[in-house]
């Protein structure tokens, strides 16, 4: 009896050993790497749900950034430690964002975090980060993000309210004869808030506002709306839209032969899908942006080309920022000489990058003010020219000139 017992114990021990070994080899690479004292950074983007397209582009860019940083020797101050990105899908939902942030920040052993593209989600994630005292760097644009007195939120991008001002300033400078402005916006938070900047900016620039019209983005036909735009006879149209509504409005404008310079409000107007879908009808459409792949700045051209080669489409505004932010994080950890989030935060607050991929925002300079906002940044104006999205304003950031006046539909 005893003998059997013993042999069973040995047998159990053996299987246990094999089991643990198997479990260890089965561990995902990220976790094993983390055990070897690498630097964990949480990367939170929506890669499913309504914003998946945008989130996926950002994650693609971050993967390239992590490879670039690690291939360049990792974090030298930590003996060449590798950056280890922990990806979390926030599913285009605020509650999921909160849960994911809690989960990662409570247990993740993080040096820093980044995300989330959509301001609404970033507002939630940064609240959690503030509580856990983990530095969170973002390219989201909501003014509020860095105006809440938070110590752990850093914003590399221009703020939402700056976009409207710059658009109007640009329109006033290029316009010449045009004076009549129409502002249409989808009637949820996003459109309503952004349109306020447009209305104020238009008044300041001395434009005559001939139409301000909220609309429901869920229409089946843009003709009634475009019919009203036609009747108002604007020289400039400032639409604040999501994506299908934007595409339908522009297509219908062509069909009804409504000619006005179109100044889109970012997002759907400047992703590869826009031109892929609109083809030549997307030509000459302007939009504000917080970044573009042809900026006159550092090695933008290099990493934009690397992305395009790998993914077969150009590096979009937010994905470009996502790439840059990983370098800003790496720079902060380097100077902190530690993975302690508190020390990384203090180093990040003293960021002063003027060269390298980490500085490649418009203005070629990343330096945070005491609120955590990159005070050296400004938005840029882009225009679709021969199928390329080109920066056209301000002149210091651009390689090409804006095409204005825009040819009428029947002359294209």
Partner 1 sequence: MELSTFLQALITGILMAGIYALVATGLTLIFGVVRIVNFAHGEFVMLGMYVTFWLWKLWGLDPYVSLLITMPLLFCFGVLIQRFLFQPILRAPDLAQIFMTVGLSVILMNVALFLFTADFRSVKVPYGEWAWRLGGVTVLLPRLFAFLGALLLAGVLTLFLTKTDIGKALRAVAQDREVSMLLGINPNRMYLLAVGLGAALAGAAGGLIVPFFYVFPTVGVVFVLIAFVVVILGTLGSVQGALLASLIVGVAESLGILFAGSDLGLVVVFGILVASLIFRPSGLMGSR
Minimal distance in Å, beta carbon 184 to partner 1? Answer: 7
Helix spans in 108-243 (H)? 119-132, 160-175, 189-204, 223-232
Query: Quick check: 389 and 274 in contact, CB under 8 A?
Result: no
Query: Quick check: 45 and 115 in contact, CB under 8 A?
Result: yes
Among 254, 335, 375, 378, binds partner 1 (CB under 8 A): 254
Query: Quick check: 166 and 363 in contact, CB under 8 A?
Result: no
Residue burial 197-208, b: 16+ Cβ < 10 Å; e: rest: bbbebbeebebe
At 287, is the secondary structure helix, strand, or coil?
Answer: strand
**Of residues 244 and 338, the one with the C-beta less far from partner 1:** 244
Helix spans in 51-159 (H)? 52-71, 94-107, 119-132
Query: Quick check: 380 and 292 in contact, CB under 8 A?
Result: yes
Our finding on whether 210 is near partner 1 (CB under 8 A) is no
Among 196, 230, 365, 375, binds partner 1 (CB under 8 A): 230
Our finding on whether 231 is near partner 1 (CB under 8 A) is yes
- What is the token pair recorded at 258? 């409504």
**Of residues 227 and 354, the one with the C-beta less far from partner 1:** 227
**Of residues 75 and 118, the one with the C-beta less far from partner 1:** 118
Q: Among the candidate windows 106-114, 202-210, 246-254, 328-336, which touches partner 1 by CB under 8 A?
A: 246-254
In DSSP terms, 288 is beta-bridged to 381
Minimal distance in Å, beta carbon 192 to partner 1? Answer: 10
Our finding on whether 408 is near partner 1 (CB under 8 A) is no
Binders of partner 1 in range 162-201 (CB under 8 A): 184, 187
Our finding on whether 216 is near partner 1 (CB under 8 A) is yes
**Of residues 247 and 260, the one with the C-beta less far from partner 1:** 247
Minimal distance in Å, beta carbon 91 to partner 1? Answer: 12
Give the CA radius of gyration of the chain.
25
Minimal distance in Å, beta carbon 265 to partner 1? Answer: 17
In DSSP terms, 352 is beta-bridged to 367
Minimal distance in Å, beta carbon 167 to partner 1? Answer: 21
Minimal distance in Å, beta carbon 241 to partner 1? Answer: 12
The reply to whether omega before 65 is within 30° of 0 (cis) is no
**Of residues 62 and 225, the one with the C-beta less far from partner 1:** 225
Among 52, 86, 175, 193, binds partner 1 (CB under 8 A): 52
Among 44, 96, 123, 225, binds partner 1 (CB under 8 A): 225
Query: Quick check: 153 and 145 in contact, CB under 8 A?
Result: yes
**With 0-12 CB in 10 A as exposed, 13-18 as middle and 19+ as buried, what is 367?**
middle
Q: Which residues bind partner 1 (CB under 8 A)?
A: 49-50, 52-53, 184, 187, 213-216, 218-221, 223-225, 227-228, 230-231, 243-244, 247-248, 251-252, 254-257, 273, 277, 279
């Amino acid at each position: 009896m005893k003998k059997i017992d013993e042999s069973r114990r040995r047998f159990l021990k053996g299987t246990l050993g094999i089991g643990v070994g198997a479990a260890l080899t089965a561990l995902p690479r990220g976790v094993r790497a983390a055990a070897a004292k690498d630097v964990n950074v949480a990367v939170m983007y929506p890669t499913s749900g309504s914003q998946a397209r945008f989130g996926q582009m950002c994650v693609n860019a971050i993967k390239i950034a992590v490879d670039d940083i690690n291939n360049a020797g990792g974090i030298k101050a930590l003996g060449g430690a590798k950056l280890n990105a922990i990806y979390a899908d926030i599913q285009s939902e605020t509650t999921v964002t909160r849960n994911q942030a809690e989960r990662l920040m409570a247990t993740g052993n993080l040096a820093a975090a980044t995300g989330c593209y959509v301001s609404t989600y970033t507002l939630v994630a940064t609240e959690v980060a503030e509580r856990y005292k983990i530095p969170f760097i973002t390219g989201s644009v909501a003014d509020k993000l860095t105006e809440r007195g938070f110590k752990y939120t850093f914003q590399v991008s221009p703020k939402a309210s700056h976009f409207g001002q710059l658009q109007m300033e640009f329109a006033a400078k290029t316009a010449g004869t045009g004076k009549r402005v129409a502002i249409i916006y989808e009637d949820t938070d996003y459109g309503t808030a952004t349109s306020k900047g447009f209305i104020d900016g238009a008044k300041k620039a001395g434009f005559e506002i001939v139409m301000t019209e909220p609309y429901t983005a869920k229409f089946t036909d843009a003709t009634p709306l475009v019919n009203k735009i036609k009747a108002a006879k604007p020289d400039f149209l400032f639409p604040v839209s999501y994506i299908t509504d934007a595409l339908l409005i522009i297509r219908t404008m062509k069909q009804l032969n409504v000619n006005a310079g179109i100044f889109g409000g970012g997002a759907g107007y400047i992703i590869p899908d826009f031109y892929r879908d609109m083809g030549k009808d997307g030509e000459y459409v302007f939009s504000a942006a917080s970044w573009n792949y042809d900026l006159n700045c550092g090695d933008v051209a290099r990493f934009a080309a690397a992305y395009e080669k790998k993914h077969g489409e150009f590096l979009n505004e937010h994905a470009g920022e996502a790439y840059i932010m990983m370098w800003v994080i790496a720079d902060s950890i380097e100077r902190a000489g530690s993975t302690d989030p508190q020390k990384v935060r203090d180093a990040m607050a003293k960021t002063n990058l003027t060269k390298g991929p980490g500085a490649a925002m418009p203005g070629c300079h990343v330096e945070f003010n005491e609120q955590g906002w990159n005070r050296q940044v400004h938005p840029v104006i882009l225009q679709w020219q021969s199928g390329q999205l080109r920066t056209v304003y301000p002149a210091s950031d651009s390689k090409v000139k804006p095409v204005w006046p825009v040819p009428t539909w029947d002359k294209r």
